[in-house]
């Protein structure tokens, strides 16, 4: 049996981060759980331990560098050097750009982009002396192709791609044994659609095809074990947006302008005053836990042929070609 790894996960109290924590726990790893909400953190500890790992919950706002740095120090003091750091934490606003305030835009950027920067900084500060370690960024199809109503989130995801590419090439220049990679996510069935700040008339939804958080979690763990490729595509929407952006961006603009509003909302009205997690966590109280899954279980896939292609292709170019075929096959099965 291999030695347990020491893993840090931001945004670990719910959604993809929660599923990732369970996946690493099932391998017997030691997992640091970073998030703001105590209720979700407490439940995540139980998940990791039930799966077979050890867990340390550290209440952390990733928009504050000092808190992220303190969390890294606490975890290493208890378990030793960090082997893997996974950046997942984010927040967002569903609204047209003109209806988002400057303060809200700054908050989304601080959490969803600078949170990744701070996490990467803290990880590298601890990995450099040993010249070993892996950083996995949880990206998004929306980092390749932006859509309406999510300008703050899309901007952050685009920024993560550019930031990560820059850091990767610096590590390559240094001939470093530290690796950084991105798992590019499709639409995932997480609780975010029930707690994100929204100014839409109807309940927000992920744009189909939708995948379960466990698909995302398997991708992240695989990427942590095979980090030399710069990115992994996880689902059909990830592949389709990337391919479409490169092939016919103008046509894609017109298509999204026409369909992007309706496709991101259900037919269920929702109050514009519903509680959200932009400024404070929804799971702040003990026992208040949202778990990994959102409300779209019946519409979500538990497997992804695109992830299989991305994992097994020998090169990025071969993966891209395979993703094109896999995306087309997925579309054929849905029609």
pLDDT per residue as tens digits for the range 117-137: 999 999 999 999 999 999 999
Cα separation, 94 vs 40, whole angstroms? 23
Give per-residue pLDDT as tens, 40-63: 999 999 999 999 999 999 999 999
Confidence of residue 316 (pLDDT cuts 50, 70, 90): low
What does R_g of the chain's alpha carbons equal in angstroms?
A: 19
What's residue 323's pLDDT? 47
Cα separation, 184 vs 181, whole angstroms? 10
Give per-residue pLDDT as tens, 172-188: 999 999 999 999 999 99
Asked whether residue 317 carries a pLDDT value surpassing 80, the answer given is no
Give per-residue pLDDT as tens, 264-287: 999 999 987 899 999 999 987 666
Cα separation, 326 vs 202, whole angstroms? 32
CATH number for 151 = 3.40.50.720
Is 1 a member of any domain? no
> What is the widest separation between alpha-carbon atoms in the chain?
55
Region of 220 (left: φ > 0; alpha: ψ -120 to 50; beta: rest) is alpha
SS3 category, 70: helix
| Of 34, 84, 86, 70, residue with least CA distance to 55 | 34
Asked whether residue 332 carries a pLDDT value surpassing 50, the answer given is no
Is 262 a member of any domain? yes
Instruction: Provide the token pair at 47.
Output: 């998940």
Asked whether residue 329 carries a pLDDT value surpassing 50, the answer given is no
Give per-residue pLDDT as tens, 72-131: 999 999 999 999 999 999 999 999 999 999 999 999 999 999 999 999 999 999 999 999
Instruction: Provide the token pair at 148.
Output: 């309406």
∠ Cα 209 104 210 (to 5°): 5
b/e string for 96-110 if b means 16 or more Cβ within 10 A? eeeebeeebeebbbb
Asked whether residue 37 carries a pLDDT value surpassing 60, the answer given is yes
> pTM, whole model, 2 decimals?
0.91
The residue with greater pLDDT, 144 or 176, is: 176
For residue 132, the tally of other CB atoms under 10 A from its CB is 14
Is 211 a member of any domain? yes
Answer for the pair 167, 248: CB distance below 8 angstroms, yes or no.
Answer: no
The residue with greater pLDDT, 14 or 319, is: 14
Cα separation, 167 vs 180, whole angstroms? 8
Asked whether residue 325 carries a pLDDT value surpassing 60, the answer given is no
Q: Give me the number of domains the chain comprises.
A: 1
What's residue 84's pLDDT? 98
Average pLDDT in the chain: 90
Is 248 a member of any domain? yes
Range of the domain at 264: 6-334
| Of 151, 38, 17, residue with least CA distance to 90 | 17
Cα separation, 82 vs 7, whole angstroms? 6
Instruction: Provide the token pair at 136.
Output: 């996995």
Confidence of residue 1 (pLDDT cuts 50, 70, 90): low
Is 107 a member of any domain? yes
**Helix 15-26, helix 38-51: angle, nearest 10:** 30
């Amino acid at each position: 049996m291999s030695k347990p790894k020491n893993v840090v996960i931001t945004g670990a109290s719910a959604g993809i981060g929660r599923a990732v924590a369970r996946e690493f726990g099932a391998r017997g790893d030691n997992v640091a759980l970073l998030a703001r909400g105590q209720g979700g953190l407490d439940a995540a500890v139980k998940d990791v331990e039930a799966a077979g790992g050890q867990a340390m919950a550290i209440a952390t706002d990733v928009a504050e560098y000092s808190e992220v740095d303190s969390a890294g120090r606490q975890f290493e003091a208890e378990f030793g050097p960090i082997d893997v750091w996974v950046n997942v934490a984010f927040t967002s606003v569903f609204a047209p750009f003109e209806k988002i305030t400057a303060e809200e835009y700054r908050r989304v950027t601080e959490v969803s982009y600078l949170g990744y920067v701070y996490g990467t900084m803290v990880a590298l500060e601890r990995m450099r002396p040993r010249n070993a370690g892996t950083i996995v960024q949880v990206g998004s199809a929306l980092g390749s192709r932006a859509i309406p109503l999510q300008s703050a989130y899309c901007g952050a995801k685009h920024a993560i791609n550019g930031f990560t590419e820059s850091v990767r090439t610096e590590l390559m220049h240094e001939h470093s044994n530290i690796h950084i990679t991105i798992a590019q996510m499709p639409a995932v069935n997480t609780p975010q659609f029930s707690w994100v700040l929204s100014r839409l008339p109807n309940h927000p939804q992920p744009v189909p095809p939708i995948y379960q958080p466990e698909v995302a979690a398997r991708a992240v763990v695989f990427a942590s074990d095979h980090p030399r490729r710069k990115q992994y595509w996880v689902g059909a929407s990830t592949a389709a947006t990337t391919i479409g952006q490169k092939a016919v961006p103008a046509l894609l603009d017109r298509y999204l302008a026409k369909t992007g509003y309706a496709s991101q909302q259900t037919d269920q009205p929702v109050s514009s005053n519903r509680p959200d997690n932009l400024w404070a966590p929804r799971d702040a109280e003990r026992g208040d836990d949202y778990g990994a899954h959102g409300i779209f279980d019946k519409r979500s896939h538990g497997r992804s042929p695109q992830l299989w292609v991305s994992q097994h292709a020998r090169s990025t170019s071969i993966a891209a070609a395979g993703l094109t075929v896999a995306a087309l096959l997925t579309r054929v099965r849905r029609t």
